[in-house]
Amino acid sequence: MWEENRFRQTPPWNGRTVTLGLEFGASPFPESRRAMVERGQLFDTPAFRWLGARETATAEYRVELSEK
C-alpha cells in the first residue's frame, strides 16, 4: 500500500493530488524479491517460478465471495 499527499508539484498535479494505491501480485508480504525467492513456498505452494527467454506461463486465479 502506498500513498502520496500533494507530493508532486509539477503539472498536471500542481500539488493538488491525493493518491492511494494497492499493489499485489509479487508477494503477499512487504519483502524483497530476494526474500521471496529464498522463502520458496507459501502454504505448501511455490511462491515463484523462473521463465527462460521466450517461455510463457499461464496462471489461473479464483476468488470466493460469501455472505456471512
Whether residue 23 contacts residue 3, with contact meaning beta carbons closer than 8 Å, is answered with: no
In this prediction, residue 55 carries a pLDDT of 96
Cα 6 from Cα 20, distance rounded (Å): 11
Mean pLDDT on 2-20: 87
Distant-in-sequence, close-in-space partners of 39: CB < 8 Å, separation ≥ 6: 31, 47
pLDDT(1) > 80: no
Domain boundaries, the chain: 1-68
Q: Are 20 and 5 in contact (CB under 8 A)?
A: no
Higher pLDDT, 13 or 29: 13
Report yes or no: 18 and 6 within 8 Å, Cβ to Cβ: yes
Q: Is the pLDDT of residue 23 over 70?
A: no
pTM: 0.38
Q: How far apart are CA 18 and CA 55, in angstroms?
A: 39
